[in-house]
Chains A and B, each alone.
Chain A
C-alpha cells in the first residue's frame, strides 16, 4: 500500500516536512510543492534528512515551484525527480492513498 505524501511547507520554517519524513514508509513517495520545493537544494541544513529518505523512498518536486523561487535544477540533491502538473496527477493516480502534510 504505497502512499503519496504531499508537502507544501518550507522545511526551514515549519516541522511538517521533517514530520513527514519521520512517518513515511519505505516504498512511499514524497512530493514537494509550493514552499516545500526549497527543500530540494543540496548543502542545506535539511539536505541530510532528505538524502536519507531517498535511500528507500521516491522524492519528487514540482518544477514550476522550484523555478519560481530561483533554484536551478542543477542545485538539487541527486535522486530527486522533477515533475510538472501532469506528473503530479500521475503520482496521485499511481498511489493507493495520499496524505497532505500542512
Chain B
C-alpha cells in the first residue's frame, strides 16, 4: 500500500502558446491512477486554461479544454482559482467552465470543483502540500 500524499499541480501558463498546460493535464490524469490526494491551482496566466468557450478551429490545435470536465470522474475535485489573477486579466468566475464532480456519499449530488481563493488563501493551501509540481 502506497502512502498517500498531498499533491498540488500549479498551473501558471496560458494554453496553446506553449505546451505546459497540456503536459500538466496529462500528468494530472496519470496521477489520478495512483490514489493520491490531488489538487490543482490556477493562477497567473494559468486561469486561461479553464475559460469557457475555447475554440481552436482557427489555430489548427487540439482543443483540450473539455478534458478538465472529466477530472471530477477521477476524484480530482479541488481546483483552486486565484481571484486576483482573474481580475487582473479582465476576467471573472463566470468566464470559467462549470467544472463539477459527483459526491457518491450524497447520492451522486453534483458539486462545484472550482474553489475561488484569494492570493493569501492560495499561499496557505500551497503551504499545506507535500509534493508540488509546477507547470
Closest CB in chain B relative to A80 CB, distance in Å: 13
How many angstroms between the C-alpha atoms of A69 and B91 in the bound complex? 12
Closest CB in chain A relative to B14 CB, distance in Å: 5
A-chain residues with CB within 8 Å of residue B61 when the two chains form the complex: 68
Given A38-B48, A70-B48, A44 and B15 touching (CB < 8 A)? Answer: no
Q: A70 touching B58 by the CB < 8 A rule?
A: no
B-chain residues with CB within 8 Å of residue A13 when the two chains form the complex: 12-14, 44-45
On chain A, the number of residues with a Cβ less than 8 Å from chain B's Cβ atoms is 26
Q: Is B121 an interface residue (CB 8 A)?
A: no
Q: B55 touching A12 by the CB < 8 A rule?
A: no
A-chain residues with CB within 8 Å of residue B63 when the two chains form the complex: 68
Q: Is A45 an interface residue (CB 8 A)?
A: yes
On chain B, the number of residues with a Cβ less than 8 Å from chain A's Cβ atoms is 27
How many angstroms between the C-alpha atoms of A34 and B18 in the bound complex? 9
Find residues 42-59 in chain B having any chain A CB closer than 8 Å to their own CB. 44-45, 48, 51-59
Q: Is A79 an interface residue (CB 8 A)?
A: no
Find residues 26-54 in chain B having any chain A CB closer than 8 Å to their own CB. 44-45, 48, 51-54
How many angstroms between the C-alpha atoms of A64 and B63 in the bound complex? 12
Most buried by A among B17, B57, B61, B88: B17
B-chain residues with CB within 8 Å of residue A63 when the two chains form the complex: 58
Residue of A8, A43, A68, A75 touching B56 (CB-CB under 8 A): A68
Given A47-B90, A65-B58, A84-B58, A70 and B14 touching (CB < 8 A)? Answer: no
Q: A12 touching B59 by the CB < 8 A rule?
A: no
A-chain residues with CB within 8 Å of residue B77 when the two chains form the complex: none
Q: Is B119 an interface residue (CB 8 A)?
A: no
Q: A67 touching B58 by the CB < 8 A rule?
A: yes
Residue of A38, A43, A64, A72 touching B58 (CB-CB under 8 A): A64
B-chain residues with CB within 8 Å of residue A72 when the two chains form the complex: 53
15 contacts between A and B (CB under 8 A): A34-B16, A34-B17, A38-B45, A45-B89, A63-B58, A64-B57, A64-B59, A68-B56, A68-B61, A68-B63, A69-B15, A69-B51, A70-B48, A70-B51, A70-B54
